[in-house]
Structure 1
Amino acid sequence: MIETIFECHPQPKMRKGDKCWCLSGYRWKDCHMNREKLPKITLEDTHKAEATAQQNTQCLHPDAPHNCSGNAIRSHSVQKNASLKAIAKKSHVLSMGTMSWGEMEKRDDVKSIIKIKKLGINKASTFPGFCNYHDTELFKPVETKGWKHSKRNAFLLSLRAISLEYFKKNLL
């Protein structure tokens, strides 16, 4: 089987109507054409957006709101029952601690900003992504059954990571 490898970097010449080089699916003029002219996003902007996003209630499943069980729950971006449990000690994993913008501003060196802390596996690697029904049903093959190497399971694990990226990119 021949696989296509996509190059994802700016092209020397682009027309306004061309699909953007970043593979977003948008036309270049609606995506990266004037990106360098946009105001820079600061660390403070991202912290504010993440704090606001914790109130996100929309399920990311393509069928939402159909069959949704309610608000989005804290979905795992990393498989909880296998991956996180495998590296956990007493149901906790090491995680990069979060620090408020104000706390970071007071620090003058990177080592004091980065804090490693223990986090329970129920809270580790989560984001408000899917309602309980869609999270449970969609990821059941990789959460409740023994791992089987298959394209579907690989896709499901990738979907989690992509969903997290989609969620974060839509914050700002």
Structure 2
Amino acid sequence: MFVPMNEAKKYQFKPYEECPCESGQKYKFCCYAKSRNSKVDFRDYSATRITAEGRRLLKDTEFKMCFAFDTSECSKDLIGAHSIQNNGVLDKISVENHVYALSSEIDQNTMYPQLEFTPIGKNQASIFSGFCKKHDEDYFKCIEDKDYEGTLEQNYWFGFRALCFELHRKLRLKKSFANFFKKYPGATRTPSIYTEYYNTKLSIRDSWTEYERFKSAYAKKSFNNLESIVKVVPFTVGFTATTSVGVGMDMEGNLAADIYNYNDKHFIPNLYVSVIPKENMTLIIISRFHEDNCYKNILSQLNGNENDEKLFRYISFCLAEYSENVYFSPAVIDSLSEANKRKIKTAFMGVLSPTPELRLRNLYATTSLNLFDLKL
């Protein structure tokens, strides 16, 4: 599903709302006033400088917290938790303790964003500072220390960890916007930037709603509040992913979650997707909360699907279009032709596409992608 840029709702900061730079002042008397004397032309910046600036802004937002339901029991040791299992999953696809991630850079010729396969140590891949040591061990021991048995509780914890990873990332993204506005107050007047800022705020709000649903299910031990479909694939894929995302269409191209409805009162629930390579097999786990009727067709279609190619393309579409938490085996990626590498990078461009024309081209690559062709 694609909404052209000129049809997406455009937001505008209101004079008396809190300034998005998080100064505590009203917008009219803060970044709006400063923007009158702020004239920064990013066309004068080199691609290397823009890329480095973006990475620095994001790096400066790193923070530690614990997403435990009862933080009064937290240990003092806040750690970098893995959203994807290090031993047994990242191990499976790594080469010399490294995996590939897709990172964004600015092309020097076009000055457009592009994606590149970048090596990252498996101990750093999928890390986020979202739990103390005690709760990371207590919560996830049934998926870290036990073989997967398809229990309701195991599916619950896969979904919850994915949610916390994405929520932590969105909170950092919002903070990076604030830092950006502090440095470049004139950016608050740029429609595409303040639209992305508001969309991030709405997404954070929806994620906290999801968090409360997980918390309620945990308190009641109602792990069956989530419906899951599990598919066992009889080969090992050369990538892994776990994500919590709003999905806009089902396997037949029909509307699922109304992800382009930016009404402040509209709640967009998440679908939880994990692809877990193991020895001679791969697990696919897809979950939703039962009350999320927008995903009912997806779970029904997945349950009744007998066409693996269609299933693989749909999951590949969901990951490429909506997720960033995907890691690849260097052995598999390095064996591909440059054309096939480019197809994957193009498919994952998604909302980074700078023009409607490129967005359509990239969307075509996304719908024709089959990541399950990447076999170990």
User: Is the TM-score greater than 0.5?
Assistant: yes
Judge conservation of contact 1:58–1:71 (CA < 8 Å) in 2. Answer: no
Q: 1-side partners of 2:135 and 2:109: how far apart?
A: 41
Alignment of 1:1-172 (within 5 A): 36-38=11-13, 50-54=58-62, 56-64=63-71, 66-97=72-103, 104=106, 108=110, 113-171=114-172, 172=174
**Paired residue type of 1:82:** G
Distance across 2 between alignment mates of 1:95 and 1:147: 25
Partner SS for 2:88: helix
Structure 2 match to 1:27: none
Root mean square deviation of aligned Cα: 3.4
Counterpart residue number, 2:324 = none
In structure 1, the gaps of 5 or more residues are: 1-33
Query: CA-to-partner distance for each residue in 1:129-161, whole Å, 9 max, x for gaps?
Result: 111111122111111222221111111111111
Relative to 1, partners in 2 of residues 1:109 and 1:98: Cα closer, same or farther, differing over 3 Å?
closer
Q: Find the residue that maps to 2:143 and give its secondary structure.
A: helix
Q: How many residues are treated as equivalent by the alignment?
A: 131
Matched-pair identity in %: 24
Partner of 2:282: none
Quick one: distance in 1 between partners of 2:134 and 2:10? 38
What is the CA–CA distance in structure 2 between the aligned matches of 1:162 and 1:122, rounded to whole Å? 20
Instruction: Give how far 1:62 is off.
Output: 1.6
Structure 1 letter corresponding to 2:82: H
What is the rounded CA distance, in whole Å, between the counterparts of 1:81 and 1:169 in structure 2?
26
Structure 2 residues without counterparts, runs of 5 or longer = 1-8, 15-19, 21-49, 175-376
1:47 Cα deviation from its structure 2 partner: 5.0
Choose between structure 1 and 2: higher helix proportion: 2
Secondary structure, counterpart of 2:148 in structure 1: coil
The alpha-carbon distance between structure 1 residues 51 and 107, as it changes in their structure 2 partners (threshold 3 A), is: farther
Partner of 1:22: none
Runs of 4+ residues deviating >6 angstroms: 43-46
Sort the Cα spacing of 1:106 and 1:158 in 2 relative to 1 into closer, same or farther, 3 A. same
DSSP 3-state at the match of 2:119: strand
Distance 1:121 1:35, change over 3 A: same
Larger-gyration structure (1/2): 2
Q: TM-score with structure 1 length normalisation?
A: 0.61
Contact 1:80 1:143 in 2 (8 A): no
In the TM superposition, what whole-angstrom CA distance separates every residue of 1:67-118 from its partner, at most 9, and x where no partner exists? 222253211122222322222223221112466xxxx38563558x423122
1:67 and 1:125 map into 2 onto residues whose CA distance is 25
Opposite residue 59 of structure 1, the aligned amino acid is C
More strand by share: 2
Does the residue aligned with 2:11 lie in a helix, a strand or coil?
A: helix
